[in-house]
Amino acid sequence: MIYFETQGRDEPEAETVLLSSGLGGSGSYWAPQLEMLQKHFQVVVYDHRGTGRTGGEVPQDGGISAMADDVLEIVEQLKLEKFHFMGHALGGLIGLDIALRKPGLIDKLVLINAWSKADPHSGRCFDTRISLLENSGVEAFVKAQPLFLYPAVWMSDNAERLAKDDAHGVAHFQGRDNVLRRIAALRAFDVDAQLANIPNRTWVIATKDDLLVPYTRSVRLAEGLSDAQLSLFEDGAHAVNIVHPERFNAELETFLLAS
């Protein structure tokens, strides 16, 4: 059973936006966006299989499609006929998978530092993180995570927060096998040749200083999708929605509310 929460508006006419986080898998990733979204939408956040309050094991061979099936389980429970979807990195891949497999289910699609096919540079980063986990242990793996997420100055200004995040990450680590299987799913995902088959109105967001995913992957998404607009942030790194929530939320609100 996938753990999820619904927040915000509960009127029958309210549209729904479903949020899917990245490798960490926690619905709490979206905290900076919730206040704005709750004013306009029913908001659904969830913890990915193998993480947080969902727990359990990630299927060995399921890949991104199995993770998308978990979202479809939530959709079925809520009896949603259509919804907006916002995904960060891995979460964006889940959105692309659903858009291809279930045409018409997703209305607007938001992709943050995502990709249609993994970049070799991202593979180098994954190798480094795997090596840390296998050779140096969980604490080293967790402590290195912010280096792939945030700009250096932001990390310096938020050292106390990061220390708390490190402690929480170690205490609630999703497990070696789950991490390796989730990374394998990221590496195997490839819908590059199918992008033109996705008709959804899509907002693609990338940052030029993302250490983990070159922004050129988002440029490719915007060029390949049939109805996409691209926003390039000069900085903000991989977790731009956390680093620059004011600008991000303002642009997100404009995109989702536009007719």
Domains present along the chain, CATH in parentheses: 4-257 (3.40.50.1820)
How far, in Å, are 3, 39, 66, 99, 219 from residue 79 at the CA level?
16, 21, 20, 17, 34
Q: What's the token pair of residue 149? A: 């997420």
Q: How far apart, in whole angstroms, are the C-alpha atoms of residue 25 and residue 206?
A: 20
Q: How far apart, in whole angstroms, are the C-alpha atoms of residue 140 and residue 135?
A: 9
Residues 37-87: tens digit of each pLDDT = 999 999 999 999 999 999 999 999 889 999 999 999 999 999 999 999 999
Q: What single DSSP character describes residue 17?
A: E
Q: How far apart, in whole angstroms, are the C-alpha atoms of residue 110 and residue 234?
A: 19
Rounded to two decimals, the pTM is 0.97
Q: How far apart, in whole angstroms, are the C-alpha atoms of residue 22 and residue 15?
A: 23
The CA angle 70-75-79, to the nearest 5 degrees, is 150
Q: What's the token pair of residue 84? A: 């907006």
pLDDT of 243: 98
Q: How far apart, in whole angstroms, are the C-alpha atoms of residue 116 and residue 33?
A: 25
The percentage of residues in the chain with a pLDDT greater than 70, rounded to a whole number, is 100
